[in-house]
């Protein structure tokens, strides 16, 4: 639950609900530098909410469990997928 406790991480999850995004796209959306966004993504990845896919020099992220926006209905699925 802590992973979703920051407004920037909620914005990232909301954007990823629309599909896969690279870190550069998320940086522009959130309005923070790349290192800050990467740290937020690391928290989400460690919580089992997102997964990454490295392609060359870019890293793309997507939701691991698409139902995460319905957080309270999805907690069990997130924990099971972790």
| Distance, CA of 6 to CA of 81 (rounded, Å) | 22
User: Which fold is adopted by the domain 2-81?
Assistant: Arc Repressor Mutant, subunit A (1.10.10)
| Distance, CA of 3 to CA of 26 (rounded, Å) | 17
Alpha-carbon radius of gyration of the chain: 12
pTM above 0.85, yes or no: no
pLDDT in tens, 28-54: 988 999 999 999 999 999 999 999 999
């Amino acid at each position: 639950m802590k992973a979703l406790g920051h407004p920037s991480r909620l914005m990232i999850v909301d954007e990823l609900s629309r599909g896969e995004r690279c870190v550069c796209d998320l940086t522009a959306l959130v309005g923070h530098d790349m290192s800050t966004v990467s740290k937020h993504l690391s928290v989400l990845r460690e919580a089992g909410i997102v997964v990454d896919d490295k392609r060359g020099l870019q890293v793309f992220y997507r939701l691991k469990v698409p139902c995460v926006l319905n957080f309270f209905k999805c907690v069990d699925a997130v924990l099971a997928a972790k």
